[in-house]
Amino acid sequence: MQKLVWRVKLVADFGDGAAEIGVEVGRIERDEFAVPETLGLSLAEGKRVAAAIQTEMVRAQAATMGERSRCCAHCGADLPSKGYRPVTFRSLFGDVPLRVRRFTSCQCREIVDEPRSFSALTLEGGTAPELAYVTAKFAALAPFAKVANLLAELLPVGGAVNAGTVRNRTRRVGERIARLRPEGAADPNIDAVTPAVVVGLDGGYLRSRHRRPERNFEVIAGKVLNLDGSQHRFAFARNDNSASEFANAVVSAGVRLGTPATVLCDGAPGLWNIQRQVMPEAILVLDWFHIAMRFEHALQATRGLGAGTSSDYLRGHPIREIESAKWRLWHGRSSACLGRLARLTHWFDAAHVRDVRGVAAVRRHVNDLIEYLYANQLALVNYGRRRHDRQPISTAFVESAVNEILSKRMIKKQQMRWNRWTAQPFLDVRVAVLNKTLAGSFRRLYPNFQPDNENCPVRLSA
Ligand SMILES: [Zn+2]
């Protein structure tokens, strides 16, 4: 049978009139008789051709840079060569071993305190920005080992791509890039105040890989909702720095000193402390859902009061009292609500009530409720009016952010060897991916960075 052969040639055109010389970068053979599996390129052939093109291009570019650096850019003097430095350039299309030329810095520049020698090509550790970006982007969504397998299957990525490599690259992106203000984002030092924002704070726990020094550590996560509907997630491990971490997070979300803000949270005392340090003038709102849940617990216990005894007529009074306390709270009358509940606890002490079956449990629930409301008294608002004015009264919008950021996959399946001090770069990458700011942050560092896949929708599964 007749064979078909394609020779893939790469022709460099440097536009200087020199003869173009083609380099063969691939050879593809097929039988004349094509079947679906032999139609077009196979993955292996595609990877091979891409890797060969990459090697040729990168070497040619490095050589060109070597030529250009021969002379001083300022005075034109020839520069003494300092030989070559071996580097491996790691990219999505394979590893390219290179010899990068080094030169002695020109004497005309000595006054400006430049280093004594320089490389013709700066490679910063040798990893291509796009490789770092793609790796970190997927590592925010899937376990490191899976990311390594996926990249190795689809691309001619070189080196030992394994979970450890993915993890290290992701960490470096988290440390160096994920927090950079994305290109095009407002500059907090210059740009105007954001009209009004709602900030939701919540916490979640991550399990440390090692039991020491602690088994779990708390991560504070939340969301800033801007008036224009845009959302900005943030997350940081709880430590001595939490207040300044929170300040950074709200500033990078566009919140400025003087921005009218509402802070919602579920009443964890540590969270209010952080809010007070950073946004002391914000309107505080205790999450209505958590309040309602506590009322419901008290009501459920009350419904079982004196069950099966002649005293079960007693439950009518406390049920009415609890419901009317809740109604008062909904309408912003928190003192009246607390008064009702306090009166109810006295009623439980009355001689004809205190021995009824179940009273102790109800009393405990009502006491918990009172303590919870007292502890968060400054954050009790007129929920009915807020609801009427379509203002948020629940932190549900934050809890979804917490679940996104601290999904079970991230905690359990990735076998994170991290703790409250090492988790931050990974949290930063994940937050940047969810906020869709990662590419913009890369552009802050690499102005020409333009990933093709930038607008691919990012979907998360739990
Ligand atoms: Zn010079």
Stretch 221-228: mean pLDDT = 83
Q: Is residue 253 part of a domain?
A: yes
Tell how far the Cα of 89 is from the centroid of ligand 1, in angstroms: 29
Check whether 208 has a pLDDT greater than 90.
no
pLDDT at position 211 is 62
pLDDT at position 461 is 42
Check whether 462 has a pLDDT greater than 70.
no
Tell how far the Cα of 72 is from the centroid of ligand 1, in angstroms: 5
- Containing structural domain, residue 336: 289-379
Quick one: pLDDT band at residue 331, thresholds 50, 70, 90? very high
Structure tokens at 373: 């409301």
pLDDT tens per residue across span 149-158? 999 999 998 7
From 58-62, 141-145, 330-334, 407-411, the region with the lowest mean pLDDT:
407-411
Residues 280 and 401 in one domain: yes
Stretch 77-105: mean pLDDT = 92
Provide CB contacts within 8 A for 81, sequence distance 6+.
70, 101, 102, 103, 104
pLDDT at position 209 is 64
Stretch 234-263: mean pLDDT = 85
pLDDT at position 299 is 94
CA distance 291 to 379: 11
Tell how far the Cα of 99 is from the centroid of ligand 1, in angstroms: 24
Q: Is residue 135 part of a domain?
A: no
Residues 207 and 74 in one domain: no
Tell how far the Cα of 71 is from the centroid of ligand 1, in angstroms: 8
Among candidate residues 126, 147, 179, the one where a domain is terminated: 126
Which of these, 446, 429, 450, 433, lies nearest to 178 by C-alpha position? 429
Tell how far the Cα of 66 is from the centroid of ligand 1, in angstroms: 16
pLDDT at position 37 is 93
Residues 309 and 451 in one domain: no
Residues 413 and 374 in one domain: no
CA distance 219 to 40: 50
Percent with pLDDT over 90 in the chain: 43
Tell how far the Cα of 111 is from the centroid of ligand 1, in angstroms: 11
CATH of the domain at 417: 3.30.420
Tell how far the Cα of 14 is from the centroid of ligand 1, in angstroms: 26
pTM above 0.75, yes or no: yes
Percent with pLDDT over 70 in the chain: 89
Check whether 460 has a pLDDT greater than 50.
no
pLDDT tens per residue across span 173-204? 999 999 898 887 777 666 666 667 888 888 77
Average pLDDT, the chain: 85
Tell how far the Cα of 86 is from the centroid of ligand 1, in angstroms: 26
Question: Burial of 351 by CB count in 10 Å (0-12 exposed, 13-18 middle, 19+ buried)?
Answer: exposed
- DSSP-assigned letter for residue 102: E
Structure tokens at 421: 């001090």
Highest mean pLDDT among 151-160, 314-323, 376-385, 407-416: 376-385
pLDDT at position 443 is 95
Tell how far the Cα of 250 is from the centroid of ligand 1, in angstroms: 47
Residues in the chain, how many?
Answer: 462
Check whether 28 has a pLDDT greater than 50.
yes
Tell how far the Cα of 105 is from the centroid of ligand 1, in angstroms: 8
- Residue 311 in contact with residue 362, Cβ under 8 Å? no
Long-range contacts at 139-143 (CB < 8 A, ≥ 24 apart): 139/166, 139/167, 139/169, 139/170, 139/429, 140/170, 140/426, 140/429, 140/430, 140/432, 140/433, 140/434, 141/433, 141/458, 141/460, 142/409, 143/409, 143/413, 143/414, 143/415
pLDDT at position 304 is 84
Q: Is residue 153 part of a domain?
A: no
Quick one: pLDDT band at residue 422, thresholds 50, 70, 90? confident
Provide CB contacts within 8 A for 167, sequence distance 6+.
139, 144
Among candidate residues 110, 126, 142, the one where a domain is terminated: 126
pLDDT at position 18 is 65
- Residue 61 in contact with residue 69, Cβ under 8 Å? no
Check whether 431 has a pLDDT greater than 60.
yes
Tell how far the Cα of 112 is from the centroid of ligand 1, in angstroms: 12
Concatenating the DSSP letter of every residue in 10-45 gives EE---SSSPPP-EEEEEEEEEESS--GGGSS--HHH
Residues 423 and 341 in one domain: no
